[in-house]
Amino acid sequence: MDEPVVEIQPYETERDAASALAGDLMALNGVREKLPGKQLRMLDFRLLEKDGGNSAPFQAVIHDPETYRSVMVSGKLSALGEADVRSVRFRPRPDAEEFARAVEAVGSHPELGQVLTRDGAHVYRPMPPLADIEHADGTTDRVVTVGVRDPGGEVKHRVVGVRMRDNAVIPSPAGVPAPASNECETTPGVDDCPDEQPGPRSVRVRVRRGATELWNLVVSRPANSSGTNGSGAELRFVDYRGTRVLYQAHVPILNVQYGADGHAIGCGPTYRDWQNQEACFTADGDDPAGPGYRLCGSAPATILDNGTDSGNFRGVAFHHDGSELRIVSELAAGWYRYISDWRLADDGVIRPRFGFAGVSNPCTCQAHTHHAYWRLNFDIAGAADDRVDEYNDPPLTAGAGAWTPLRFETRRERLPLRRRQWRVINRATQQGYHIVPGPNDSTADAYGAGDLWVLRRRGNEIDDGQGFTTDPVLSRAHLDDFAGGESVDGRDLVVWYGGHFHHDEHDHTPVPHVVGPDLYPVGFH
């Protein structure tokens, strides 16, 4: 058998076009009326139709850091001057430069600066990332939080705030975990590898054996991924053996909920996390398409593999082990570390995986549950003729078959007692994918919202639009809002799949810190 060959080349995407449009959007009269600042930033851009060309509808979010206000711009590419502009509530997380300013202020504080001179003491990014102060007149003071770890001190962790308009240090901001004498996790948060951006925003990846092309797809690193909060390592235009199987695959929604004990000490009670901040991990190899995309000769090692927050790379690493291509990245959200991982096997099996870890902090000793939601926009041999069937054994109705078509938009539970599974099939070609839940994926509780949704594809439903928040009502995945009862028989479909990981250090039963289903090809051989 021929050896596998992996080719990686730069790929120009619509987000490159979005960067070119940014100046035109920021100059619109409607934008300038609401955002007078001189350093506007475009935080999100999405096209709402597939292959819409120059007349495609779009949405963009533009932020003014001077006034701390944002707007959403909606319109068509061919008529920017007619775009609608409305104010929206959006709080961008602190970038590296802003966090460094906050750290400098903490280091200059008489008491905290002294703490940081002690052996082993250091700062880190905590949760929540912001502790903003809202005033009665509707204005907001932006307060960036900084974690201070003093491993030899009586208080090992404290979270302080810095008011960015005047760099004033707030020793005890509202809404953060209480000072803690205990330590959760043993890995110090260092995240010390260089960030070599900019490289290509996306890359085209091909896997061949001899003259046979097995996989052809586009991959975007988490820093360039789509969605309100990013979506990890993102796959698009995924072809297997020359047949389109996925238009887009990513994890746009990620959240965590703490139990009563955690809430009592200021953890959570929930966090809506983000998936576009990259963390360091170990990946040895070359960067054939430029910084941020590495082809490895040996398996990459994340914090789940080696227990360290250090590394030599951030971005997306690729490694073919002789039977499958692994596409992996490590993410950071405060003290959490997440692993965004895809495995594309030579026989067509797709294994989405998401891993959970953390660095030293005051909260994760308390029982909590993570929820990760994959968005899988299937385009089996084309975009508009797919259906979804559900398997139950024993069947839902006595005398009925095990497979039942799902005809309308719906939310479904994962029922292990019925061996519940699903398949997405193109009605004309009978090709598709069989979705088998992973053994560690668990079943959603009330906050987890659900296990699987079958929905019509709509361009404005990449996610539910919720940015970072600690509010349980807001941070919960609002995917039920998309299930309006429309037909999904022979349509362009999106399957949302939820994986749920419960972490309780008081339960010593070994549990893998990775969730994800297996997707088996149907009718491709």
Q: Specify if 192 maps to a domain.
A: no
Backbone φ and ψ of 229, nearest 5°? -115, 20
Give dist(CA 467, CA 432) in Å, integer: 34
Q: What is the domain range of residue 331?
A: 202-522
Q: Specify if 479 maps to a domain.
A: yes
Q: Are residues 385 and 305 in the same domain?
A: yes
Q: Are residues 156 and 278 in the same domain?
A: no
Q: Are residues 108 and 80 in the same domain?
A: no
Q: Are residues 298 and 225 in the same domain?
A: yes
Q: Specify if 5 maps to a domain.
A: no
Q: Specify if 414 maps to a domain.
A: yes
DSSP structure class, residue 88? E
Residue 28 belongs to a domain with what CATH number? 3.10.450.40
pLDDT in tens, 309-351: 999 999 999 999 999 999 999 999 999 999 999 999 999 999 9
b vs e for 137-167, b when ≥16 Cβ sit within 10 Å of the residue's Cβ? eeeebbbbbbbbbbeeeeebbbbbbbbbeee
Q: Are 335 and 189 in contact (CB under 8 A)?
A: yes
Of 146, 170, 194, the position where a domain reaches its end is: 170
Q: Which long-range contacts (CB under 8 A, 24 or more apart) does 230-233 make?
A: 230/274, 230/275, 230/276, 230/277, 231/275, 231/276, 231/375, 231/462, 231/463, 232/275, 232/329, 232/331, 232/338, 232/340, 232/354, 233/316, 233/327, 233/328, 233/329, 233/340, 233/341, 233/342
Distance of CA 215 to the CA centre of its chain: 23
Give dist(CA 15, CA 442) in Å, integer: 35
Q: Are residues 64 and 164 in the same domain?
A: no
Q: Are residues 17 and 105 in the same domain?
A: no
* Cα dihedral 384, 351, 225, 381 in deg (nearest 10): -20
What integer pLDDT is reported at residue 215 of this predicted model?
Answer: 98
DSSP, residue by residue, 66-85:
TTTEEEEEEEEGGGGGG-EE
pLDDT in tens, 374-399: 999 999 998 889 999 999 999 998 88
Q: Above pLDDT 70, what percent of the chain?
A: 98
Q: Specify if 469 maps to a domain.
A: yes
Q: Are residues 57 and 131 in the same domain?
A: no
Q: Specify if 365 maps to a domain.
A: yes
Q: Are residues 53 and 105 in the same domain?
A: no
- At 56, is the pLDDT very low, low, confident or very high (cuts 50, 70, 90)? confident
- Which among 215, 491, 258 has a CA at the least distance from the CA of 363? 258
What spatial distance separates the first Cα and last Cα of the chain, rounded to whole Å? Answer: 18
DSSP, residue by residue, 284-312:
-EE-TTSTTEEEESS--B-HHHH--S--S
Of 33, 65, 88, the position where a domain reaches its end is: 88
Give dist(CA 434, CA 440) in Å, integer: 18
Overall domain count for the chain: 3
- At 193, is the pLDDT very low, low, confident or very high (cuts 50, 70, 90)? confident
Strand order across the beta sheet in which 57-64 lies: 41-47, 57-64, 69-76, 84-88
What integer pLDDT is reported at residue 15 of this predicted model?
Answer: 56
Of 126, 155, 170, the position where a domain reaches its end is: 170
Q: Where are the beta strands (DSSP E) in 20-77?
A: 41-47, 57-64, 69-76
Q: Are residues 316 and 408 in the same domain?
A: yes
What integer pLDDT is reported at residue 240 of this predicted model?
Answer: 97
Q: Are 126 and 176 in contact (CB under 8 A)?
A: yes
Q: Are 180 and 157 in contact (CB under 8 A)?
A: yes
What integer pLDDT is reported at residue 46 of this predicted model?
Answer: 84
Give dist(CA 343, CA 347) in Å, integer: 11
**Would you call 51 exposed, middle or buried from its count of C-beta atoms within 10 A (0-12, 13-18, 19+)?**
exposed
pLDDT in tens, 35-55: 999 999 998 888 888 776 778
Q: Specify if 57 maps to a domain.
A: yes
Task: Say whether pLDDT at 14 is over 60.
Answer: no
Q: Are residues 424 and 449 in the same domain?
A: yes
Q: Are 336 and 355 in contact (CB under 8 A)?
A: no
* Cα dihedral 150, 154, 157, 161 in deg (nearest 10): -90
Amino acid at 295: L
- Which among 451, 446, 459, 449 has a CA at the least distance from the CA of 481? 449
Task: Say whether pLDDT at 19 is over 80.
Answer: no
Q: Specify if 72 maps to a domain.
A: yes
* Two tokens, residue 446: 């009330």
Q: Are residues 108 and 151 in the same domain?
A: yes
Q: Are residues 397 and 478 in the same domain?
A: yes
Residue 452 belongs to a domain with what CATH number? 2.70.98.20
Give dist(CA 244, CA 481) in Å, integer: 29
Can you give the C-alpha Rg of the chain in angstroms?
23
